[in-house]
């Protein structure tokens, strides 16, 4: 396992856990689960050819990783009812952006 993949998946799995434990302590398991559900945005990788390219940055390449989509994720994080999924999506984007920087 490379340093890049450790950092990438560390952000994907550990950062939502830290956020859940610090900011949503009473319902941390639920919060963590909802934030992990943000992985669903990776379904847009199925639209690319090839589906996986280790040298491709996801940010602004895939539709659900576009700057427009990121703006929507920020808006989702502002409202209580959508806050957890918005934060999860932002954390997902952060993980993918760090991955791009490490390429």
Q: Give 42-68 pLDDT, tens digit per residue.
A: 999 999 999 988 889 999 999 999 999
Measured between alpha carbons, how far is 18 from 95 in angstroms, rounded to an integer?
14
Contact assessment for residue 28 and residue 16, using Cβ atoms and an 8 Å cutoff: no
Task: Specify the number of domains making up the chain.
Answer: 1
| 92 pLDDT above the threshold of 90 | yes
Neighbours of 28 (CB within 10 A): 15
Contact assessment for residue 4 and residue 102, using Cβ atoms and an 8 Å cutoff: yes
Q: Which residues of 48-85 are buried (b: 16+ CB within 10 A; e: fewer)?
A: eeeeeeeeeebbeebebbeeebbeebeebbeeeebbbb
Residues of the chain above pLDDT 90, percent: 91
> Domain of 94?
3-102
pLDDT of amino acid 7: 93
């Amino acid at each position: 396992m490379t340093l890049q993949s450790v950092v990438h998946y560390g952000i994907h799995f550990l950062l939502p856990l830290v956020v859940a434990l610090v900011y949503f302590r009473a319902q941390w398991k639920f919060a963590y689960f909802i934030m992990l559900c943000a992985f669903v945005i990776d379904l847009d990788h199925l639209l690319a050819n090839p589906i996986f390219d280790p040298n491709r940055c996801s940010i602004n390449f895939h539709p659900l990783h576009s700057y427009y989509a990121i703006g929507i994720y920020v808006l989702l994080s502002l409202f209580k009812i959508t806050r957890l999924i918005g934060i999860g999506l932002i954390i997902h984007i952060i993980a993918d952006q760090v991955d791009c920087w490490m390429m």
